[in-house]
Amino acid sequence: CRAFQSFFFEYDTPRIVLIRSRKVGLVNRAVQLAILAYVIGWVFLWEKGYQETDSVVSSVTTKVKGVALTNTSTLGARIWDVADYVIPPQEKNTVFVMTNAIFTLNQRQGHCPELPDDKTECKEKSDCVPGYVSSHSNGIQTGECVSYNDSIKTCEVFAWCPVEDDYHIPRPAFLQEAENFTLLVKNNIWYPKFNFSKRNILPMINATYLKNCIYDSQTDPFCPIFRLGKIVEAAGQNFQEMAVEGGVMALQINWDCNLDRAASHCVPKYSFRRLDSKDSGHTVSPGYNFRFAKYYKDSEGNESRTLIKAYGIRFDIIVFGKAGKFDVIPTMINIGSGLALFGVATVLCDIVVLHCMKKKYYYREKKYKYVEDFELVSISES
């Protein structure tokens, strides 16, 4: 008792003694019920906290089909098949379909005038610098000033001649019929933790159905053959507009599987979106394009080429997903975490009652009783 007295007399400050409050008990039980609802409803039912999970391992192969006819002054009448417009023939999880192009025929290495711009136009020889080349040059300047046409002179270059003129992109797109081409996507997935594998050509799909079906989210949601125009349309875009300058589309395959159910319930879900920006804030260098050339040699060994600047749509097949299956360890961990939350119910209750409620001062008076030191001494002596 003397030690108790000396402790409180040494510090001349008020002391706090806790008292029980019926109101606080009711709030405490309400907080506990909320925690219980969170653990059962969110952790176990919605998030499936009783399951072990694994991420998908995937492989994708693609095949495009379709034929188009063009008739232009440059190439004449010509049939375009898969070997012409799918470049390159195979890529990893990606396929590029050419929809527009600028052709520069019969190029040979030699001397010719450069394309006119503010850095290549000239009036006399001194305006051209021998050996000069910039990142936008088609060749190396020879130092001569030559006629580009009747009204313009440009610096001469040593290059593949005639140089490419890509100032004017064909409108409408060169291969408008690409909208009706089809894309077959074959996707195999594997969840190594559960040794579970499947593919997007489901067991119910036979050869007859596969030859005639086209994916439709309502009537044929599991058909792995997609019409290119429908892919772009499903992403909220216009195919013919996109075909002019090209773009990048995502074909997403989602494999979210609950392996506590039958394997037949594990099925792919397809979605589509445009990946490259197409809005008023991104007007510089829009779309998607690249160049390639086809080389030839005549009987005398002279080399020439056809340069093609290809615009088109690149389709990226993106596979993602998660599988879950019951396991004792995550179940016990989440149960333990839920029980631990009940320990903080009292703390949460105090915070709510003493700081957030309208009658917080009333509850503070009921919860705490301030006792001076001499009262505590009297109590201890008695």
pLDDT tens figures, 234-250 = 999 999 999 999 999 99
Measured CA to CA, the distance from residue 41 to residue 47 in angstroms comes to 9
**Other C-beta atoms within 10 Å of 356: how many?**
8
* Same domain membership, residue 302 and residue 352: no
* pLDDT for residue 8: 42
Position 260: which residue type?
D
Residue pair 255/266 in contact (Cβ under 8 Å)? The answer is: yes
* Same domain membership, residue 182 and residue 319: yes
* Same domain membership, residue 363 and residue 255: no
- Asked whether residue 140 is domain-assigned, the answer is no
Measured CA to CA, the distance from residue 288 to residue 243 in angstroms comes to 10
pLDDT < 50 stretches in the chain? 1-20
Length of the chain: 382
* Same domain membership, residue 277 and residue 373: no
pLDDT tens figures, 67-87 = 999 998 888 899 999 999 999
* pLDDT for residue 10: 44
Report residue 378 CA to chain centroid gap.
73
- Asked whether residue 131 is domain-assigned, the answer is no
Going by the annotation, the residues of the binding site are: 63-65, 182, 289-291, 309
* Same domain membership, residue 64 and residue 202: yes
- Asked whether residue 276 is domain-assigned, the answer is yes
Measured CA to CA, the distance from residue 143 to residue 131 in angstroms comes to 7
* pLDDT for residue 380: 54
Angle at Cα 378 formed by Cα 377 and Cα 382, nearest 5°?
A: 115
CATH number at residue 377: 1.10.287.940
* pLDDT for residue 365: 65
* Same domain membership, residue 237 and residue 170: yes
* pLDDT for residue 58: 94
Going by the annotation, the residues of the binding site for ATP are: 63-65, 182, 289-291, 309
79 lies in which domain range?
A: 54-114+163-325
Concatenated DSSP letters for 88-129?
Answer: SS--SSEEEEEEEEEEEEEEEEEEEEPPPSTTTB-SSGGGS-
* Same domain membership, residue 305 and residue 228: yes
Residue pair 228/179 in contact (Cβ under 8 Å)? The answer is: yes
Give 327-333's long-range contacts (Cβ < 8 A, gap of 24+): 327/50, 327/51, 327/52, 329/52, 330/49, 330/50, 330/51, 330/52, 331/49, 331/50
- Asked whether residue 157 is domain-assigned, the answer is no
* Same domain membership, residue 336 and residue 312: no
Tokens of 103: 């052709």
Residue pair 24/357 in contact (Cβ under 8 Å)? The answer is: no
Q: Choose among 270, 190, 210, 260: nearest CA to 235.
A: 270
* Same domain membership, residue 335 and residue 189: no
Number of domain units in the chain: 2
